[in-house]
Structure 1
C-alpha cells in the first residue's frame, strides 16, 4: 500500500480532535480538584504524546518509488499532452505538492517498478482499469473529498450500483476539460438512463436536448441527501441547496413561499407528486394529461360530496362529468400555496 499525503490529513484531523477532547476533559477534572485528577492528567498527557509521536512517524510518507511525471512522457506522450491541459496538471504547476500527490504518480502511485519492468498494468500500483469501483472512489476522494457536493457519495445510487468515477470521467482523453467527462453531459447520462431520454422527446419538457439546461442543474451525480422534501421515498440524487429545498425552486421562485396555507403534498412528497420534470403531454409538466386526474390521486372523494381520502376538505359539490369542473386550477388558482385561503382559491 503506497504512502500518500492523504493519510497525513486524516492523522492531523484525528490529532486535533483527540487533543481538543482530552484538553476539555483535563480542564474539567482540574476544576474538580480531586485526587484522581493528577493521575488522569498524566495518563491523558501520555496518550496525547503517543498520538503525536504516531503522527510524526506517519506524516512523512516515503518518496521511494516515485520518479516524477517527466519519466512517463517517454512512453505515454499522448496521455501527457492531454494531461498537460487538464486541471490535474495544477499539482505539477503549483510546485507545492509532495511527489505522492504530483502529476501521474499522484493517482497511479510510484512508477519506478513500472519503468524497471518495461511496462505492464500489473506493475502500476494503482491501475484504475483493474480496480474495483469503490477502490477507485476512495483514491479520488483523497483529493476530491472536501466538497459538500460529494459529501454523501459513498451512499449515492451511483456508488451503490458500482458506478465508478471512471465510468463518467475520462482523466486522460476528456472532450470536456473542465469536468473531465467521458462524453458531453447529456450523452453521458443518456448512455444509462435511456428511459429518461425518451421523456425529453415529449411535447412539453425541460429543454435539455436543446442545450438550455443540463442534468446537473437538477441532479447531483455524486449523491444528495435524501432526508428532506420527501426525497427519502425516491433516490433521485437531487441537487439540494443547503436550505433543503427542491432544486425546482431555484428557477420557480414564485412557488417557494413560505405560505400561510401550504399544499401538504408539496411539502411532504415534493414537486414530483404532481409533475414529471423531464417531459409530459401536459403543458404544465403534470404527470397526467388532464389536471383533475392528478388531483384525484389524493382528493378522490371530492367528486361525490365527501371529504378527500386522507385530506381534510370541505364537502364537495363538484360534478366531474361536467367539463367546467374538470380543470381544478380554474378555481384553485394558488394550488402551490396561498397566504389568503386554505383551499387555495386566491
Structure 2
C-alpha cells in the first residue's frame, strides 16, 4: 500500500513538473510545424495611445479594431502582437478578461491569432489608470507605458499583485486556441536612454544598472508564474538584435538577461531593425538553438528594415515576422526614434514614414509594401 501511494505521489509530482517545465525542442518544433508563415504587426488601434487606452472600458473600441483587423486579413496577416498591462488587472480583472475575450473573438473572425505581451520595459515608467494624456506633438510613441511601472518594479510588496495578474490572465486563457503565444516581457533590458532615460531632459527612468538588475531577477519568476498557470501556448521573451558583430551563438557572451530569455523561452523570438543582410546572417545563428524562430519586431524604413527585402528572406527560412505598427494614429510611430531629440513640429515632416503600414485614412503608406506582404502571405 505504501509503495502504491508513493507511486501515485511520484506520478502526480512528475506530471506537474512536466506541465510547468520549459517545452522540449521537439514539442516546440512540432507546434511550429503546424503553423503557417506567420506575418503580422505589433498592434494597437489608431485611436489608442497605449495599452491602457486600448483595453480600459471607457475607450475600448471593438468597432475600430474590427475594421482594422479586417484590413489586416485582406493582405494575408495571420497574427498580431498585442500588449497587455498589469494595471488593467488591478483596475477590473473581470471586465478586462471580458474585453480581452471580445478582442480575441474579433481576431478569430479575421483568422488572426495574436501573441499577447504581459510586461514591457519601454517608454513611460509612470503609468496611471484613467484618461490617458494626448500625444506630445511630433514625438514617436509619446504615451506608451511600461508595465510594471517603476514604482511597482522597485517595490517587492507589489510582486504578489504582479503574480496574480500573470497567473490570472494566463490561467483564464490557457487553453484558448485563439492565442498564438505569450510574450513574457518586451525588451526587458531597455532603459529608454534617449526618451525617459539618461540622454534626455525628461529623465524619469530609474538608474540603468538598477533597472536591469531588478528585471533580470524578476523575469525568471514571470516565466515560472506563467508556467504554473498551465498554458497550452508557448512562452517567450525576445532578445533585441540591432547590430552586427555580436556572437549570439556563444552562450558565454550572453548578458544575464539574454541568458534568461534564451534558456527559458519555448520558442526563440528577437527584434531586428537592421538591414536584410544582417537578418540573413542572424537567422541561421538563432536556428542553431534548435527551436522555432520568430522576429517579433522589424520594419523601420529609416533603418533600412523593409517588407520588400526582409519578408522573402524570412519566408524561405520560415521565420515569422511582425512589423511595428499597423494604422498610423495616436502612437505617432510613423515618426522616427530621433523625434525625441528633434520633434516634428512647425511643419517639419520626416522624409519617409518610419513605422506603420496604413495611413489614418486606411490607404497604404506605400502600395508596393502591401503588395509585398500579399506576395509573402499568398493573397492575390
TM-score range, shorter chain: under 0.3
Give the number of the structure whose alpha-carbon radius of gyration is greater.
1
Judging by fraction of residues, say which structure has more strand: 2
Scaled by the length of structure 1, the TM-score of the pair is 0.20
Structure number with greater CO (CA < 8 Å, separation at least 6) is: 2
